[in-house]
Amino acid sequence: MFRLAHRLRQSSSCSTASTTLAGPLRRTNSVVRQASIRLASTAAARAPTFPCVDQHAARTARIQAATTSAASSTSDGGPEPPYARPTPKQYNLFTSTQPLALTYSSTPLPSHEVAYETWGTLNPARDNVILVHTGLSASSHAASNALNPAPGWWEKFIGPGKALDTDRFFIICANVLGGCYGSTGPSSVDATTEQPYATTFPVVSIFDMVRAQFALLDHLGVERLYASVGCSMGGMQSIAAGWMFPERVGRVVSVSGTARSGPASIAIRFAQRSVLMADPNWNNGFYYDGLPPHAGMKLARQIATITYRSGPEWEMRFGRRLRPVPSQQVVDPGRPRTPALCPDFLIETYLDHQGEEFCLKYDANSLIYVSKAMDLFDMSHSSLVELGMLDADSSTAKSESAKRQPQPHLSHHPPHLADLSRGLGARLARIPTLVLGVQSDVLFPVEQQRELADALRAAGNEEVTYYELGGVWGHDTFLLDVQNVGGAIRGFL
Amino acid sequence: MFRLAHRLRQSSSCSTASTTLAGPLRRTNSVVRQASIRLASTAAARAPTFPCVDQHAARTARIQAATTSAASSTSDGGPEPPYARPTPKQYNLFTSTQPLALTYSSTPLPSHEVAYETWGTLNPARDNVILVHTGLSASSHAASNALNPAPGWWEKFIGPGKALDTDRFFIICANVLGGCYGSTGPSSVDATTEQPYATTFPVVSIFDMVRAQFALLDHLGVERLYASVGCSMGGMQSIAAGWMFPERVGRVVSVSGTARSGPASIAIRFAQRSVLMADPNWNNGFYYDGLPPHAGMKLARQIATITYRSGPEWEMRFGRRLRPVPSQQVVDPGRPRTPALCPDFLIETYLDHQGEEFCLKYDANSLIYVSKAMDLFDMSHSSLVELGMLDADSSTAKSESAKRQPQPHLSHHPPHLADLSRGLGARLARIPTLVLGVQSDVLFPVEQQRELADALRAAGNEEVTYYELGGVWGHDTFLLDVQNVGGAIRGFL
């Protein structure tokens, strides 16, 4: 950490830095003058530098250089969005000119676009369609295809003979409303202003995302889904799809999802939004003609990454091991290495790397809007009534009948379970549903998986399949565990 | 969230903001001109503001105003440290002019100060002393006393007839080395430069903290502790004290501590340090003559707060309830309330409040140094050998004998358990030890508590008392649960 060179930061606070860093060089007239001179020299020689902090300024410089270079090479001269928005040729684009009703806004979205991709073949009866819903930051590119041969985020699960078997099914995956990979979101241009929406974009809900997807299904002439499948936030959408369109959904699969975001998950997402919004480059969301809040995005992703795996996995993978240090940087081979305040343990370099990789790949406002949509998701009866999606007295009969049945499967009874059961049960009591959760998941904890299965069962749904996986992969299990997650889905379908 | 007034932020990026915020006001010549004018007006009327972001600038202004006012009212004219450093009259101060050896530095600290407080009466035999070690941000003020009648952080546990019974024991609590509440730390003035150390302060270890505390005990003429007691990071110090000075410690109490920081805990503390160090006001640690990194501190504390309680507690306390909104701010009583991107759920306002309360109460560099000391703590044999605190072949005999004993208590066997057992066992095999953990703790997970108890038992310690508490208070249980935590300590002592 303590480098020999005395480097000043490239930031705007340079002048302050130079004033204060000069401190250790001052001489003192006290009685300890001799010692002081020796120690002060040592301090000056060891003026601290922080590569992990300097990284933010270095990234700024890189973005600015790339923007300048792009501006001089493109015909319109405008800066390119710095995150890797896929080119329109890599996905299909559905443009709807029908107003899209929104949960939290009295004004519908006048028009919207949905980026989507497909795999397999739509059969003549049009009844072999599986809609795959994505997690927070995923694009429509779930697997490689003719438009885009790069591996997708669920490559191991979609294909001939795989869990979502393309020999049998026609798979559709769309980028969510609010996202930045082709579908309409805060980075899209508002036709009325010819400027990106930024934070004038309306708050969207999981229901809005599903509504946009079903507008796409209408466009494709798909009346009914064989199944709605989703993991993480995709699980929320999958549940919502079955609930909103029970006559159009044959089966529901929710892997590491939830029917009701709890305060612990909201807390984790709030912390991410807070660090992002505190980045001065965020600029209240209006950064599209300048620097994006890349430092805030990196910090937010570091926090998020903590919740994607698990302590036991890091213990096995990293333990307490330190990053390797080149031998010429070892000051004294006989002594323990001086710890760095910047990343030093492998777990730290891992989080740093994950943040660095992500910070320019996704739009900051999309992160804020989509993570907020997750927080807002609640299929409880009281919440659905408040949103005007259910009548206050709906499903009372069902709920009463459910009460009379013995409930051998119920594993616990949080206070909100009855409310949730009544909400879900209003429309999901008859759709076969697979609920799969992971015990090491800290973001969508296993209690929420049990809760979802219990709520459906208590509502009288007799076709709930429930699996709980062990292992150390935490929330990311749905991306990694082909054997167990893939097997459960294949078996259920 | 969307306020009627169009307010620009007070930050340095104002000019960018005004450029981009003007965007929605632009008119367009497209065919949708009519609609555009209507919607553009709506957008202008709804130009978004973010009170949670503006808070950072407002805090800056408050600090600057307070600093100016303090400068004009004090004789030396220098700005006061903005966090609430207690006045020297509120604690006792021990100044050591003996060099203090440091784990990670070949140069000892030439002198240091330790702030401490006491409760009860030292008996003539001087054998009734209990040393209380603090958690990360606590001062020496564990309970009210003559110097400072304000309630302390462990008020309910220290006093006549309480868990630490002042009718029986003489209690000492010191601010840790590296802290900012009177003991020497990064905010202290380096005598050789007459400037605060800032990040020229050496990296300190839990062992260094304990060494400073035992220098205090020497000063007070206390040869032997009846018990060493600590919670959280205090548990680490308590274990280290027994290990470093086995002949001077009668009993060890570790509540929600650990003998080895795991990667998940390091990850959480790394995320906090990262957001703090990214605050431009942190300025590589040299902020003592300017603004402290208060925004970074707030964000760091928000992250920390997530790990102090538990999901089940927030579910009971906050659930999904929203902050109350004054009726005049409700735009349309017939519609669901428009969600805010700033804190809106009670769990969010709670985290925001905790961050706001803390951000000027503790020194940012102390947070970095003390949290790093926690990360570095590892009582494994291999680690202690690397630090030169144990010979490579130490305790082999003990370890071998331990292997031959049946181990009926061992609940699990992480790969590092044998290493940890060998390290701890080298010097802690004969000291009665109370290990208390909490099942809902996510920061010092219960697995680490079991590990500590198991490692001691495997090393042949036959006087290990181990309790595991339920409940929803998570890591904070040690501050709240007088009945169970207090009872266990009283019973053990």
Partner residues linked to B433 by β-bridges: B252, B464
Cα within 13 Å of Cα(B197), Cβ side: 23
- Chain A (229-258) residues lying within 8 Å, Cβ to Cβ, of chain B: none
Pairwise CB contact (< 8 Å): A278 & B295: yes
Nearest-Cα residue of chain B relative to residue A278:
B53
Pick the residue of A6, A15, A20, A60 with the most B CBs within 10 A to test the interface with B by mutation: A20
Judged on CB neighbours under 10 Å (0-12, 13-18, 19+), B186 is: buried
User: What's the pLDDT score for residue B66?
Assistant: 83
User: What's the pLDDT score for residue A44?
Assistant: 44
Of B393 and A139, the one with more pLDDT: A139
Residue A264: which of A470, A442, A471 has the closest Cα? Answer: A442
Question: B26: which chain A residues are within 8 Å (Cβ-Cβ)?
Answer: 193-195
A32, A43, A275 member nearest B299 (Cβ):
A275
User: What's the pLDDT score for residue B65?
Assistant: 87
Q: Name the residue type at position B382.
A: S
User: What's the pLDDT score for residue A72?
Assistant: 59
Average pLDDT over residues A483-487: 92
Pairwise CB contact (< 8 Å): A283 & B17: yes
User: What's the pLDDT score for residue A336?
Assistant: 82
Tokens of A325: 């240090």
Q: How far apart are CA B82 and CA B295, in angstroms?
A: 13
Q: Is the dihedral of CA A176, A182, A183, A186 positive or negative?
A: positive
Cβ distance B349 to B314 under 8 Å? Answer: no
Distances (CA, A) of A114 to A138, B258, B418: 14, 50, 56
pLDDT, one tens digit per residue, over A240-255 is: 999 999 999 999 999 9
ipTM of model: 0.86
Q: Which of B96, B232, B256, B310 is catalytic?
A: B232
pLDDT, one tens digit per residue, over B443-481 is: 999 999 999 999 999 999 999 999 999 989 999 999 999
Pairwise CB contact (< 8 Å): A13 & B190: no
Pick the residue of A274, A287, A309, A381 with the most B CBs within 10 A to test the interface with B by mutation: A274
Nearest-Cα residue of chain B relative to residue A340:
B203
DSSP state of A345: B
Q: How far apart are CA A263 and CA A246, in angstroms?
A: 28
At residue A185, does pLDDT exceed 80?
yes
Tokens of A447: 């209690």
Pick the residue of B54, B275, B441 with the most A CBs within 10 A to test the interface with A by mutation: B275
Cβ distance B257 to B231 under 8 Å? Answer: yes
Give me the count of residues in chain A.
493
Candidate ranges A409-413, B208-212, B306-310; pick with highest mean pLDDT: B208-212
Pick the residue of A15, A33, A320, A417 with the most B CBs within 10 A to test the interface with B by mutation: A320
For tokens 């999904």, the residue is B320
Q: Minimum mean pLDDT among A478-487, B4-13, B95-104: which range? A: B4-13
pLDDT, one tens digit per residue, over A297-313 is: 999 999 999 999 999 99
Average pLDDT over residues A26-44: 35
Tokens of A130: 């599986």
Pairwise CB contact (< 8 Å): A286 & B23: yes
Contacts of A344 (CB under 8 A, 6+ apart): A1, A322, A323
pLDDT, one tens digit per residue, over A372-395 is: 999 999 999 999 999 999 988 765
Q: Is the dihedral of CA B164, B167, B169, B172 positive or negative?
A: positive
Distances (CA, A) of B35 to A110, A111, A190, B29, B41: 10, 13, 12, 11, 10
B199, B267, B287 member nearest A48 (Cβ):
B199
- Min Cα–Cα distance to chain A from B349, Å: 10
- Min Cα–Cα distance to chain B from A342, Å: 8
User: What's the pLDDT score for residue A47?
Assistant: 76
User: What's the pLDDT score for residue B28?
Assistant: 29
User: What's the pLDDT score for residue A23?
Assistant: 30
Nearest-Cα residue of chain A relative to residue B333:
A386
Q: In the structure, what pLDDT confidence band is assigned to residue B331 with cuts at 50, 70 and 90?
A: low
Q: Name the residue type at position A8.
A: L
Q: How far apart are CA B443 and CA B448, in angstroms?
A: 10
Residue A493: which of A38, A164, A225 has the closest Cα? Answer: A164
Average pLDDT over residues B101-122: 96
Cα within 13 Å of Cα(A68), Cβ side: 6
Average pLDDT over residues B344-358: 95
Check if A412 is active-site: no
User: What's the pLDDT score for residue A412?
Assistant: 54
Q: In the structure, what pLDDT confidence band is assigned to residue A21 with cuts at 50, 70 and 90?
A: very low
Average pLDDT over residues A227-248: 97
Q: Does B281 touch chain A (CB under 8 A)?
A: yes
Question: A31: which chain B residues are within 8 Å (Cβ-Cβ)?
Answer: none
Partner residues linked to B322 by β-bridges: B345
Q: Does A104 touch chain B (CB under 8 A)?
A: yes
Cβ distance B167 to B208 under 8 Å? Answer: no
Pairwise CB contact (< 8 Å): A320 & B261: yes
Q: Which of A205, A475, A476, A481 is catalytic?
A: A475
pLDDT, one tens digit per residue, over B250-285 is: 999 999 999 999 999 999 999 999 999 999 999 999
- Min Cα–Cα distance to chain A from B101, Å: 13
The string of DSSP letters for B428-452 reads: HSSS-EEEEEETT-SSS-HHHHHHH
pLDDT, one tens digit per residue, over B45-73 is: 457 899 999 999 999 999 888 877 765 55
Q: In the structure, what pLDDT confidence band is assigned to residue B399 with cuts at 50, 70 and 90?
A: very low
- Min Cα–Cα distance to chain B from A185, Å: 15
pLDDT, one tens digit per residue, over A93-112 is: 999 999 999 999 989 999 99
Question: A26: which chain B residues are within 8 Å (Cβ-Cβ)?
Answer: 193-195
The string over B80-114, giving b where at least 16 C-beta atoms fall within 10 Å of a residue's C-beta and e elsewhere, is ebbbebbeeebbbebebeeebebbbbeeebbebbb
Q: Does A274 touch chain B (CB under 8 A)?
A: yes
At residue A17, does pLDDT exceed 70?
no
Q: Which of A378, A441, A454, A476 is catalytic?
A: A441
Of A325 and B246, the one with more pLDDT: B246
Domains of chain B plus CATH, in order, are: 1-49 (no CATH), 51-80+282-327+341-369 (1.10.1740.110)
Beta strands B112-119 and B92-96, pairing class:
antiparallel
User: What's the pLDDT score for residue B250?
Assistant: 97
Average pLDDT over residues A275-290: 95
* Radius of gyration of chain A measured on its C-alpha atoms: 26
Q: Name the residue type at position A310.
A: S
Check if B441 is active-site: yes
Question: B43: which chain A residues are within 8 Å (Cβ-Cβ)?
Answer: 190, 192-193, 200
A191, A286, A341 member nearest B273 (Cβ):
A341
User: What's the pLDDT score for residue B375?
Assistant: 98
Share of chain B above pLDDT 70, in %: 81
User: What's the pLDDT score for residue B418?
Assistant: 93
Q: How far apart are CA A28 and CA A33, in angstroms?
A: 6
Hey, how many other C-beta atoms are within 10 angstroms of the C-beta on A162?
19
pLDDT, one tens digit per residue, over B18-45 is: 222 222 322 223 333 333 333 334 444 4
pLDDT, one tens digit per residue, over A62-81 is: 988 887 776 555 444 333 44
B263, B282, B347 member nearest A318 (Cβ):
B263
Q: How far apart are CA A424 and CA A436, in angstroms?
A: 17
User: What's the pLDDT score for residue B337?
Assistant: 86
Cβ distance A126 to A218 under 8 Å? Answer: no
Q: Does A336 touch chain B (CB under 8 A)?
A: yes
Looking at every residue in chain A, the average pLDDT score rounds to 85
Average pLDDT over residues A152-161: 96
At residue A239, does pLDDT exceed 60?
yes
At residue B396, does pLDDT exceed 50?
no
Q: What share of chain B is helix, strand, coil (3-state, %, to 5)?
A: 45, 15, 45
Q: Which of B441, B454, B476, B481 is catalytic?
A: B441
User: What's the pLDDT score for residue A66?
Assistant: 83
Of A48 and B121, the one with more pLDDT: B121
Check if B140 is active-site: no
